[in-house]
Amino acid sequence: MLEVVGVTKRYGHVAALEDVSARFAPGEIHAVLGENGAGKSTMMGVISGFVRPDSGQVTLDGRPIPMGKAFECKRLGIEMIHQHFTLVPNFTAAENLALARLNRLGRRIDPHEMAAPAMDKARELGWAVQEADAAGEMPVGVQQRLEILKALANNARVLVFDEPTAVLAPDEVEDLFRVIRDLRDAGRIVVIIAHKLSEVLAIADRVTVLRRGRLVASALRADVNEQLLAEWMIGEMPTVRTKLPGGADIRKGLEVSGLSVQGDRGEPAVRGVTFDVRRGEILGIGGVDGNGQVELAEALVGVRRAGSGDRRWQGEAVPAELRIGYVPQDRQQDGLALTMSVRENFLIAGQRRADLTRGVFLLPSRISAWAKDLIARFSIKVESPDTAVGSLSGGNQQKVVVSRVLDSDPELIVVVNPTRGLDIRATEFVHQQLRIARAGGASIVLFSTDLDELAHVADRTVFMSRGELVEGTGATALFGGHE
């Protein structure tokens, strides 16, 4: 038995875990659920030795494991299969498998000999893995198999899978589930971090739900359904509001009709959605992550091609000159160039301002004054516009993205979880800027998994489930009453 007992972990004033306890039994697939920031990865990091908690302990067979010592935990048979692979791209499959078993340096090794136990496991599982192929040239499904083989070759007793289906095609997911069930039947402790409820209900024997660093519930699979898990994960669903705020602009804004969008693997991510957002209105779109929100947002702003359907602006085809602002979900990956300065990140959009250019040339003195003005207006804490944006706090990075978007006075604004990871003050700042833009007549689509945020900011709220928009109240609105 693996037990987590009273574990607390804080980062500054933020409690990633607060007095969390859980039990994981052999011969059982145990899914740990929760929204981003719920504490799932932190808890698994504690179990596998990558994170040292502030208090509490983890025991295996009644004996405390060494906290914060990943190599010691590995020797005890605790292995974590990370969502972001830990392979060396230029190494062959055999070399990566040998590296996972290398326990000391200073000796000559034969990669093929050291990889042999893992390759035997691959054959047992019916997996075709070519020892001589470079890991970086393999499909992601094969790369994940390598990660699993690394763990199995060390005779792991506890296997922790971090979002294992995130990059897999449907047939690869089914094959992975087959293997996970085999591992369970062999008596191993199998833990899965997940947020896709349909997949959890298809594979798990037991579920544990975390929300905002605290344990909400733990139950057998037979005792739960999607509706109950959704309520545990994100709280009681708010009543959908359909009344426009006082003084709202009655002019048409964005109209979307029958829009369908494919995901990164070609799967249907958005299925024929239809909605409208008037000028001076904030439409909230809620729901559990992974139901097509990001794909829909990208299609609305034109960075992802829509498969079918129509977008119109004020009753006409969307004009090329329409001013669109987009705040992506991942500010570091999609919103900022981290090694560039704050001023250069402003210029990603600001280079189109007529007052900052003369012909094809930028005007440095005007750009400097403009950047300093943005920093002052949006209260960005930075020593100089020349400071690398990657050195800023998360809240100030988000302010750079938001200020760059709003500086262009956009008519249509699409934001995805804009306050995720921000403190109270930075969150209220972002909300206030959205209200100001709404007052100026912008049409705003706010995607958020935070129900408090939707209730606080949105004028209307609908929910997204399995690529479709649903309306109603309670968790039934999110899942259409299906179990």
70-99 b/e (C-beta count within 10 Å ≥ 16 → b): eeebbebbbbbbbbebebeeebbbbbbbbb
Whole-prediction pTM: 0.59
Q: How many residues does the chain have?
A: 483
Q: Averaged over 6-25, what is the pLDDT?
A: 88
289 pLDDT band, cuts 50/70/90, is confident
Q: What is the mean pLDDT of the chain?
A: 83
Using DSSP bridges, classify how beta strands 158-162 and 78-81 pair: parallel, antiparallel or unpaired.
parallel
Domain 2-234: assigned CATH number: 3.40.50.300
What residue segments make up the domains of the chain, in order of their start?
2-234, 254-479
Helix (H) or strand (E) holding 435: helix 424-439
Predicted local confidence at residue 482, as pLDDT: 38
8 pLDDT band, cuts 50/70/90, is very high
pLDDT for 53 beyond 50: yes
CA gap 182, 283 in Å, rounded? 45
Task: Identify the three-state secondary structure at position 152.
Answer: helix
Residues whose CB is less than 8 angstroms from the CB of residue 77 and which lie 6 or more positions away in sequence, other chains included: 60, 154, 155, 156, 157, 158
CA gap 471, 483 in Å, rounded? 17
Q: Averaged over 419-434, what is the pLDDT?
A: 77
Q: Averaged over 154-167, what is the pLDDT?
A: 81
pLDDT for 242 beyond 80: no
Predicted local confidence at residue 483, as pLDDT: 34
Q: Averaged over 340-349, what is the pLDDT?
A: 90
Domain 254-479: assigned CATH number: 3.40.50.300
| Segment among 285-289, 295-299, 312-316, 365-369 with least mean pLDDT | 285-289
Predicted local confidence at residue 239, as pLDDT: 42
pLDDT for 191 beyond 90: yes
20 pLDDT band, cuts 50/70/90, is very high
**Which two three-digit tokens encode residue 459?**
């004028």
CA gap 364, 370 in Å, rounded? 10
Assess whether the region 2-234 and the region 254-479 belong to the same CATH fold: yes
| Segment among 143-152, 161-170, 368-377 with least mean pLDDT | 161-170
Q: Averaged over 344-372, what is the pLDDT?
A: 87
Predicted local confidence at residue 267, as pLDDT: 81
Predicted local confidence at residue 200, as pLDDT: 86
**Residue where the block lists tokens 């945020």:** 453
Predicted local confidence at residue 240, as pLDDT: 41
Q: What is the DSSP letter of 200?
A: H
pLDDT for 149 beyond 60: yes
With pLDDT > 70 as the criterion, what percentage of the chain qualifies? 90
pLDDT in tens, 92-116: 888 888 887 776 555 677 788 888 8
Q: Averaged over 377-396, what is the pLDDT?
A: 85
pLDDT for 21 beyond 90: yes
Predicted local confidence at residue 254, as pLDDT: 93
pLDDT for 445 beyond 90: yes
Of residues 47, 69, 54, the one with CA closest to residue 8? 54
151 pLDDT band, cuts 50/70/90, is confident
Predicted local confidence at residue 166, as pLDDT: 66
Q: Which residues pair with 273 in a beta bridge?
A: 259
pLDDT in tens, 306-333: 888 999 999 888 898 899 999 998 888 8
Predicted local confidence at residue 481, as pLDDT: 38
Cα-based distances in Å from 363 to 30, 341, 353, 367:
59, 17, 11, 6
442 neighbors 413 (Cβ within 8 angstroms): yes
Predicted local confidence at residue 265, as pLDDT: 73
Predicted local confidence at residue 24, as pLDDT: 94
48 neighbors 217 (Cβ within 8 angstroms): no
Q: Averaged over 447-470, what is the pLDDT?
A: 87
423 pLDDT band, cuts 50/70/90, is low
Predicted local confidence at residue 428, as pLDDT: 82
CA gap 336, 327 in Å, rounded? 10
pLDDT for 414 beyond 50: yes
Predicted local confidence at residue 105, as pLDDT: 58
**Which two three-digit tokens encode residue 279?**
């000028």
Q: Averaged over 80-95, what is the pLDDT?
A: 82
Q: Name the amino acid, one letter, at 58.
A: V
Q: Averaged over 378-405, what is the pLDDT?
A: 86
| Segment among 156-170, 253-267, 321-335, 451-465 with least mean pLDDT | 156-170
Task: Identify the three-state secondary structure at position 31.
Answer: strand
| Segment among 321-330, 381-390, 440-449, 474-483 with least mean pLDDT | 474-483
pLDDT for 247 beyond 60: no
Helix extents (H) in 268-361: 293-301, 342-350
Q: Averaged over 454-476, what is the pLDDT?
A: 78
Q: Averaged over 453-476, what is the pLDDT?
A: 79
pLDDT for 245 beyond 50: no
pLDDT for 357 beyond 80: yes
Predicted local confidence at residue 52, as pLDDT: 92
With pLDDT > 90 as the criterion, what percentage of the chain qualifies? 31
Q: Averaged over 58-80, what is the pLDDT?
A: 89
